[in-house]
Amino acid sequence: METTAAPTAPDTSDMSDVEALTTLNDFFIESCRQGSWEMLSQILSDDFAYLDGNTGATMERGPYSQALGPAPTLTIDQVVVHVSGNTGLASARSSIQAGRYSRYLDSYERRDGRWVCVHACVWRGLPNMD
C-alpha cells in the first residue's frame, strides 16, 4: 500500500504578517482535522506548549503530539489575527458539533524570519456562543 506524504507547511515568506498568520492558522486547523502530527509539527516551535483552558492542564510538545486525534468535522469562524512586532495571535470560534462551540488562541513568534506557533490554548464555550 502506498502512503502519501503529509502536505508541506505553506511558504508564507512573501505574505504580509496577517496573511501569513491566517494561512498558518488554516494549516493548523487542517492538521487537526486530519489528526496529522506530521503536518502540525512543521509549524510548531520546539518549545511549544498547550494549555487546556477548562482544566488548566498543560502539555509540552511531546505529550501534545500523542493527544492529537482526527477531528474531521472541525469548523472555525470569527477568526481574528493580531500582530505586534515579532508576536502574532490567531484566535477563532471553533466547533466539532453543531451548536457547541469553543474558542482558541494560538500564539506565534517570528524566529529567524519564520512564524512558528509557540503556544495554544482552547476552552469550551457556551451553546450558541456568538
**Tens place of pLDDT for every residue, the chain, 130 residues?**
556 778 999 999 999 999 999 999 999 999 999 999 999 999 999 999 999 999 999 999 999 999 999 999 999 999 999 999 999 999 999 999 888 899 999 999 999 999 999 999 999 876 555 6
**Model pLDDT for residues 85-113, shown as the tens digit of each residue:** 999 999 999 999 888 899 999 999 999 99
Residue 129 lies in a domain: no
Per the structure, the complete domain to which residue 96 belongs is given by: 17-124
Residue 41 lies in a domain: yes
| CA 65 vs CA 73, 79, 100: distances in Å | 20, 24, 25
| Distance from the Cα of residue 45 to its chain's centroid | 12
pTM for the full predicted model: 0.91
The number of distinct structural domains making up the chain is 1
Q: Which three cell numbers stand for residue 50?
A: 498547550
**CB-based burial of residue 113 (10 Å sphere; 0-12 exposed, 13-18 middle, 19+ buried)?**
exposed
The CATH number linked to 65 is 3.10.450.50
